[in-house]
Amino acid sequence: MKLKALTSYLVLVFALSTATVTLRAADSEQNSRPVPVKTPPPVYPRDMRRDGISGMVTVKVVIDESGNVAECSVNKSTRAEFETAALDAVKNWKFKPAVKDGSAVRTQVIIPVSFTSEA
């Protein structure tokens, strides 16, 4: 179980490091992308787990200047049954906000949320 959580975290970190944000790629040291600091996992839908069904939901997230999730919506998903759980989880995430020219800025990222069955 811990390996799956670590794998999901690594996917998240990779996604955030490659996400399109409002920062230029070669900006100065005063610019940075958002960094997740609190990422409670989604609740795996009981029927999907029981049936051994896995899936992925990519969530479009707007992170405000305080590092809170201001908006989130489903960008794409492999199974509609996972969408609510993914959104409910991401709404509770907290970030170190993106920084541009030394100030925290509102930004948008795409976050993959993976559901991997142990069955």
Which pLDDT tens digits describe the chain residue by residue (119 residues)? 443 543 344 344 434 433 333 334 334 456 999 999 999 999 999 999 999 999 999 999 999 999 999 999 999 999 999 999 999 999 999 999 999 999 999 999 999 999 997 65
Going from the C-alpha of 85 to that of each of 4, 56, 93, 114, the distances in angstroms are: 17, 11, 13, 11
The pTM of the full predicted model, rounded to 2 decimals, is 0.74
* Number of structural domains the chain divides into: 1
Q: What is the pLDDT of residue 14?
A: 39
Domain of residue 71: give its range. 2-115
Contact 111, 42 (CB under 8 A): no
Q: What is the pLDDT of residue 118?
A: 67
21: domain CATH number is 3.30.2420.10
Q: What is the pLDDT of residue 117?
A: 79
Contact 8, 114 (CB under 8 A): yes
